[in-house]
């Protein structure tokens, strides 16, 4: 299923123009100070017909693999035709982007609720080509090194994979846009626990992949160990290749 979804995303992503993203030391420093991600929803190069297509195709594939039940499928299909699609996506995006931002006194309106459960999954998949395109721009910029938060500098998403570089740094990989950024190797990105005695780590027998599990918040993050690897990390492929590690982590009482 993941490979079919990836194919849909690749096809759409190739058509998306390179977005204009204003990045400078000043801008990143300011966003870093407020923990506020850089990309505003209005600046995502959304093309409505492509967006509709990717929402519908994502739902079709998930339905075929029984990852969506009938009611969810109907809801998503309806959403794909609905005029309010951009509004729903905008709400979903902002909820994710503002989740970890420092409170700003001027922001008096309460945050809108995020989409939950299955719809969140569909929107995450459908928006990936658009957000990844934006991430490609920021990824090239040296100013990204200013960002030290555990949520994504571009879109505010949480990391859902990571890679250990040959220099033994850990880079987190955003679950929404696939941006990679450097983060302390032994600090839990979910609760910031940095007590090493409360981080449990275990690896696959070939040493290719590793899990860092936190004994404070009980969440875990998988990692591709690039220190002795012949190829770079491939988040989609590596996420699938490590499904047995998820089972092992969950068996020990951790959640993803
Ligand atoms: Zn992101
Ligand atoms: Zn934690």
* 256 residues of the chain, pLDDT tens digit each: 888 999 999 999 999 998 989 999 999 999 999 999 999 999 999 999 999 999 999 999 999 999 899 999 998 988 888 778 999 999 999 999 988 876 654 444 444 444 568 888 899 999 999 999 999 999 999 999 999 999 999 999 999 999 999 999 999 999 999 999 999 999 999 999 999 999 999 999 999 999 999 999 999 999 999 998 889 999 888 988 999 999 999 999 999 8
Please give the Cα distance from 180 to 188 (Å, whole number): 16
Taking a C-beta distance cutoff of 8 angstroms, is the pair 143, 24 a contact?
yes
How remote is the CA of residue 153 from the centroid of ligand 1, in Å? 7
Question: If DSSP codes are grouped into helix, strand and coil, which group holds residue 104?
Answer: coil
Residues around the ion ligand 1 (C-beta < 5 A): 152, 154-155, 157, 174, 176-177, 179
Q: Quick one: 239 exposed, middle or buried, by C-beta within 10 A (0-12, 13-18, 19+)?
A: middle
Exposure class string for 130-152: b at 16+ Cβ within 10 A, else e:
bbbbbbbbbbebebbebbebbbb
Query: Which ligand has an atom closest to residue 176 CA?
Result: 1
Taking a C-beta distance cutoff of 8 angstroms, is the pair 61, 1 a contact?
yes
How remote is the CA of residue 36 from the centroid of ligand 2, in Å? 21
Query: Which ligand has an atom closest to residue 156 CA?
Result: 1
User: What pLDDT score does 115 carry?
Assistant: 55
User: What pLDDT score does 122 carry?
Assistant: 92
Residues around the ion ligand 2 (C-beta < 5 A): 188, 190-191, 193, 214, 216-217
Query: Which ligand has an atom closest to residue 130 CA?
Result: 1
Q: What is the CA radius of gyration of the chain?
A: 18
Measure CA of the first residue to CA of the last residue in the chain; give whole Å: 20
Q: Where are the alpha helices (DSSP H) in 65-109?
A: 70-81, 85-98
User: What pLDDT score does 110 carry?
Assistant: 45
How remote is the CA of residue 246 from the centroid of ligand 2, in Å? 16
User: What pLDDT score does 63 carry?
Assistant: 93
Query: Which ligand has an atom closest to residue 151 CA?
Result: 1
How remote is the CA of residue 40 from the centroid of ligand 1, in Å? 12
Please give the Cα distance from 45 to 48 (Å, whole number): 10
Question: Residue for token digits 């690039």?
Answer: 226
């Amino acid at each position: 299923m993941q490979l079919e979804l990836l194919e849909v995303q690749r096809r759409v992503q190739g058509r998306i123009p390179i977005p204009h993203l204003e990045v400078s030391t000043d801008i990143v420093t300011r966003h870093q100070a407020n923990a506020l991600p850089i990309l505003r929803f209005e600046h995502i190069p959304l093309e409505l017909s492509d967006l509709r297509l990717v929402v519908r195709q994502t739902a079709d594939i998930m339905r075929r693999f029984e990852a969506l039940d009938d009611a969810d499928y109907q809801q998503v299909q309806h959403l794909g035709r609905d005029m309010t699609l951009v509004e729903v996506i905008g709400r979903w995006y902002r909820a994710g982007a503002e989740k970890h931002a420092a409170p700003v006194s001027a922001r008096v309106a309460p945050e809108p609720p995020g989409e939950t459960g299955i719809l969140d999954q569909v929107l995450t998949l459908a928006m990936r080509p658009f957000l990844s395109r934006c991430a490609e721009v920021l990824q090239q910029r040296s100013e990204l090194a200013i960002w030290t938060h555990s949520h994504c500098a571009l879109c505010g998403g949480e990391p859902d994979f990571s890679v250990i570089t040959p220099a033994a740094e850990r880079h987190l990989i955003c679950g929404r846009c696939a941006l990679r950024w450097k983060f302390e190797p032994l600090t839990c990105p979910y609760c910031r626990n940095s007590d090493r005695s409360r981080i449990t780590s275990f690896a696959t027998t070939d040493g290719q992949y590793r899990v860092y599990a936190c004994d404070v918040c009980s969440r875990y993050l998988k990692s591709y160990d690039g220190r002795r690897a012949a190829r770079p990390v491939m988040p989609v492929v590596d996420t699938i290749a490590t499904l047995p590690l998820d089972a092992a982590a969950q068996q020990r009482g951790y959640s993803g």
